Structure 1
């Protein structure tokens, strides 16, 4: 993506130079010639002014202003630009690969070994040291230091302390109506409840789906509104559990022991709290 951005900027610069500079220079040359400058001097001055104008516009409108907009609105800029920029990089990938090969070849000629991107990953211990040094030098605030340190410490922590055992799980029967699901959620002050037996749930139902079903007047049961939840082994790390829940687009995971028995559930909220809230 970085190589694609560099190539696009270079192409824009060359395009502006080829089209704009001759146009501006040809427009200004007669004016300077009319005020008494020799033709060669008039052309040179006009060319310098054209080059300055094009460079200024390219840097301000083409690079600095879009960069500032992207920093101020990162989500919107990423949403708008991700697909077209990815299409551009796919289109010019052969050219990027060729340029990269030439660049690596030149580096090898001067006895420099090219390093692939991401070939030198940081260990958690190195990251902890960087965070500590950043705090010591005053580069990050105390709250940021606490959050980062907690996230790094909790990455490999076990989810076992976060597991809610079956005896504490609130569930609704599989045959419960939409209204019964709503009532149960309100009593438990939860937006999601397991469906069926806590020891062997059929899935999880969201109060939003129950409200929508009641509004439509459809006669559905909790089992029909439920969606499947991923299952994790008890020894899963917090970081891995978060990644798997996000990949499954689920807020709850079922914890199953090696013998297949249900050991409980764990929620994404609890996992993120462990990662981001200092102890």
Structure 2
């Protein structure tokens, strides 16, 4: 039995309308209206679909690359043809000029983009510029260090010069009423994260967060060359975080006790 031309036309029109409305316009507007929530809904099924279809996708890509090579065209990886940092910076600037980005948004995104290629070496404070405390430091020495520098965290050095941890002033506040010559208990010396000088800021941030450390000792060829603060790493991504007591890393490094060298005893 042949399909009546009118019925065919009506069915095709209805299917086209449903396809455009339910398959394109409605989902697109839902995503525009609430992109974060829609993304969270879609990620799990999309990840599952990608895993299920990965073998077929690999076969199709391999076949396509083979055909391209037969006609003497070198296949390009999508990641290799993505935007460069310079191109992304230009896109951000253009979006700011067109009013698509607020000034604060543009500043944060530009700050994060400029930090992609930076390493720990760009933000560390050299050992020679640090205010440190010796292992076995007394409560009186900690109190003097806090009074003279205004710092809240101090790297602790062993007799060999190795950085063995750091003291946070809040950990000894309950003991400041004790005799000044009382040594700080060893268990109150916090463990430091350890990073290499060429570690990327992204990896440094992940390591420090995973270890719950606000300070990390930076090493090169097996010896400590400096210390980096979590705050300084974060500020490379979001810009300066100011509060009533804000100082830069260099100010923190140079604001040492006038009565001693950079090791407070």
Which of 2, 22, 33 is the matching residue for 1:57? 22
TM-score after normalising by structure 2: 0.53
Alignment map for 1:160-171 (pairs within 5 Å): 162-163=124-125, 165=127, 167-169=130-132
Segments of structure 1 that go 5 or more residues without pairing to the other structure are 1-37, 211-220
Say which structure, 1 or 2, has more relative contact order (CA 8 Å, 6+ apart). Answer: 2
Which of 69, 77, 84 is the matching residue for 1:116? 77
Q: Which residue of 1 aligns with 2:205?
A: 245
Q: Which has the larger radius of gyration?
A: 1
Q: Which residue of 1 aligns with 2:7?
A: 43
Shift of 1:47: 1.2
Whether the 8 Å contact between 1:155 and 1:275 is mirrored in structure 2 is no
Q: Which residue of 2 aligns with 1:95?
A: 56
Aligned equivalents of 2:232, 2:72: Cα separation in 1: 51
Whether the 8 Å contact between 1:150 and 1:276 is mirrored in structure 2 is yes
Alignment map for 1:1-279 (pairs within 5 Å): 40-55=4-19, 56-61=21-26, 63-68=27-32, 71-73=35-37, 77-78=39-40, 80-105=41-66, 107=68, 112-120=73-81, 126-127=86-87, 130=90, 134=94, 144=106, 148=110, 152=114, 155-156=117-118, 159=121, 162-163=124-125, 165=127, 167-169=130-132, 190=152, 193=153, 196-197=156-157, 199-203=161-165, 223=187, 226-233=190-197, 236=198, 240-248=200-208, 249=210, 250-256=213-219, 258=221, 260=223, 262-274=224-236, 276-277=238-239
Aligned equivalents of 1:108, 1:226: Cα separation in 2: 58
What count of residue pairs does the alignment treat as equivalent?
A: 212
- Per-residue CA deviation, residues 113-158 of structure 1 (Å, 9 max, x unaligned), is 431122246666x448836974897576766379627953894477
SS of the aligned residue for 1:230 comes to strand
The answer to which structure has the higher helix fraction is 1
Segments of structure 2 that go 5 or more residues without pairing to the other structure are 173-184, 241-265
Distance 1:53 1:209, change over 3 A: farther
